Amino acid sequence: MSDKRLREFIKPGDIQTGSVYLVRFPSDEGVSRNSGRPGASEAPEQILQQLLNLTPHPAYFDRHTAFLKNVKITDSVPCSGDVEADQQALGRIVKEIFSNQSVPVILGGGHETSFGHFLGYAGAKLPVSILNIDAHADVRPLKDGLAHSGSPFRHALEHPSNYCESYSVFGLNPSSVSAEHFRYVNRHGKALFDRDLKLKAVKTYLDQYQQNMIMATMDMDVVRQADAPGVSAPNPSGISKKKWLDIAFELGKSSSVRSFDLCEVNPRFDRDQQTVKLAALTVWYFLLGLSFR
């Protein structure tokens, strides 16, 4: 039997021909606006290529490959560097995917990706609860009225559509979040520190919000730097890669999770593509979880 790879099953397709769509959003202007180090715009294509080179799960081969045939690759969002316009463009694509009763899986990009992701819900008039796995709260105000990688969730919560019903963030590094932002998150959902991030907490959240649509977003900088050196903001005390991958699988399995994005991988600072490969494996686990719905 040949050594099958995901590229043999996942193909480019129009938004009418599949049940899951991989969307690349190569933006990092929001990171620069947030005084971070650029490079995340290079991640989506590299993550996709590493993903396509992985094998289906050998223990669930028939289930996994049957599912993967319905996963399609969209054209990459043509990011211009105008963050607001690019977020609107991503929102339109996500809305179109929702109109096809399908699941968007978005490969970012800086975390400005997530506000564009949310705009898909607002455009489709779908109330949503957001769960962010992240070392940072990302609820900073806009800068001179401009969006950035630290603002997406305040921007969503305060969007005039009122379609963001709640926002929770799990994995916060207590030395990287202000008391004001911590309180802000807890007023709108739940904030959980990295030391308290157990798989059970994620399952409890998913059970609690099972009547809601959940927008899931995972920021690679929640993972400890030894496991994920290639990120916009390295984290010396983050969670393990095993816990990270277990969370991705649980998010995929949950029927409440309506969409997913992965952000803040920065190949310019990677080591032997270690972080890019971990990002690809994250998407692999999320897709595997989807196959069990």
pLDDT in tens, 14-60: 998 889 999 999 999 999 999 889 999 999 999 999 999 999 999 99
Structure tokens at 291: 């196959």
Query: Cα–chain-centroid distance for residue 170?
Result: 13
The number of distinct structural domains making up the chain is 1
All residues at 6 or more sequence positions from 154 whose CB lies less than 8 Å from its CB, including other chains: 138, 139, 140, 141, 184
What pLDDT, in 10s, does the model give residues 149-207? Answer: 999 999 999 999 999 999 999 999 999 999 999 999 999 999 999 999 999 999 999 99
Q: Which of 157, 8, 13 is nearest to 97 (CA)?
A: 13
Q: Is residue 204 part of a domain?
A: yes
Q: Is residue 44 part of a domain?
A: yes
Peptide bond into 109 cis (omega under 30): yes
The domain that holds 189 is classified in CATH as: 3.40.800.10
pTM: 0.97
Query: If you ran DSSP here, which 8-state letter would residue 83 be given?
Result: H
Residue position matching structure tokens 């715009």: 41
Q: Is residue 259 part of a domain?
A: yes
Q: Is residue 50 part of a domain?
A: yes
Distance CA 261, CA 158 (A): 20
Q: Is residue 184 part of a domain?
A: yes
Residue 237 is part of which domain span? 6-291
Q: Is 224 helix (H, G, I), strand (E, B) or coil?
A: coil
Q: Is residue 1 part of a domain?
A: no
Distance CA 97, CA 7 (A): 21
Q: Is a pLDDT exceeding 90 seen at residue 145?
A: no
Q: Is residue 199 part of a domain?
A: yes
Q: Is residue 247 part of a domain?
A: yes
All residues at 6 or more sequence positions from 241 whose CB lies less than 8 Å from its CB, including other chains: 223, 224, 227, 228, 278
